[in-house]
Amino acid sequence: MAAASNFVASCGCQMRIGASIRVRDSCSSSVDSLNPNRRIRVLARREGKGQFDQLCINNSKRKLSQNMRCLCTDMALVNQRVLQEHAISKPTGLLGYELVQGNLVQWNSFMDKSVPDPPTCVLLHGILGSRKNWGSFAKRLAEEFPLWQFLLVDLRCHGDSASIKKSGPHTVSSAALDVLKLVGQLRLTPRVLVGHSFGGKVALSMVEQAAKPLARPVRVWVLDATPGKVRAGGDGEDHPGELISFLRNMPYQVPSKQEVVDSLVHQGFSLEVARWVVTNLRRNAQQNFSWIFDLNGIADMYESYEKTNLWEIVENVPRGVHINFLKAERSLHRWALEDLQRIHAAEELASDEGAGVQMHVLEDAGHWVHADNPDGLFRILSSTFRIETTLRGIRGG
């Protein structure tokens, strides 16, 4: 796949926060209360509008200005300084995304194509999630590894990508191809792919489908998912398929989030999952709430997730690819003994072929690894960024 085009991904906007602030914009991209010492950039694409807003923060007056338009970024937090470039037409159907950059990253897509992009990690959410699931975790990584940038993606039918009409079928494979096209259009060459649950299979499918724009070496993290049969639900946990089915039978518009929470709990779903699901409700013009995802498309995606078998790429790992599986300690039903044995067998085989497969266990965590034990997950993932930084011979992090 060509690593693309003249597409404009971002301004060269530097963020320097002098005080703790909270920002919320009309397209629901958000920045939480920020550490006064934090210095990162967050660049985000607006939800399928074909146009990008630029939010400017003047730290001395703390006023928000939305009166500047450009086609390069929809959210840039800056300190009285915005570097603008010429607007360039963009391809249609681009996924919603955010690019979180460490403070030593000096790159944007306007640069000469001969200038290498900084090491990039792509973070992919699971079914019924969004790129927001990775927001705070990505910012933490960017602080620890300031030479890296982190691309957070809304997969098709989810978040800001739900308003983009994608042709079917809605599958693991098509979701992976969407992300490959996105990184190509942004002129990025990912060094690390991290996917949770459904996103883990998407990451594996990306490796299966393309040599470029994936780098060699590339490190893949599959968080609490196996390459083949999906064993979801059990031990009192919520079954995603049942949850999707229940949500599809609810009205598209609801008067309050609490009403949805109550309905889900009454149906037997956990309070934690009910509260998480309603983060996908957004207030509409009628002052009701409506879903920001395409539930019909998501139902197809989940069916594909259950059926897709990617053992072939794990048992025949391409040279220069290292696949890491992370099993949540309390997520027992998802991992059959045969899965673990097969992964351990692949470990030995891959090491003989100049590739790698490795199994990890995250203690004190259920399926929602980045919420249950973010510190433990951070420690495990950090090794990858340190190794890659050393291999590339760059300082920092």
Give the DSSP per-residue string, 119-172. PEEEEE--TT--GGGGHHHHHHHHHHSTT-EEEEE--TTSGGGTTS---S---H
Mean pLDDT of 354-379: 92
* pLDDT single digits (tens) 129-161: 999 999 999 999 999 999 999 999 999 999 999
To the nearest 10 degrees (0 to 180), the angle between helices 172-185 and 295-307 is: 110
Give the per-residue pLDDT at 351.
Answer: 73
| Pairing of β 321-328 and β 356-362 | parallel
pTM of the model: 0.78
* pLDDT single digits (tens) 203-226: 999 999 987 778 788 999 999 999
Among 120-124, 224-228, 250-254, whose mean pLDDT is lowest?
Answer: 250-254
Q: How far is Cα 384 from Cα 255, in angstroms, rounded to an integer?
A: 45
* pLDDT single digits (tens) 263-306: 999 999 989 899 999 999 999 888 899 999 999 999 999 999 99
Give the per-residue pLDDT at 215.
Answer: 78
Spell out the residues 6+ positions from residue 388 whose beta carbon is closer than 8 angstroms to its own. 119, 191, 192, 217, 219
For every residue of 342-381, DSSP letters joined together read HHHHHHHHHHTTT-EEEEEEESS--S-HHHH-HHHHHHHH
* pLDDT single digits (tens) 5-42: 322 233 333 332 222 222 233 333 333 333 444 456 67
Tell me 212's DSSP state: S
pLDDT at 79 over 80: no
Q: Which two tokens stand for residue 93?
A: 């159907």
* pLDDT single digits (tens) 171-182: 999 999 999 999
Angle formed at CA 189 by CA 127 and CA 114, multiple of 5 degrees: 155
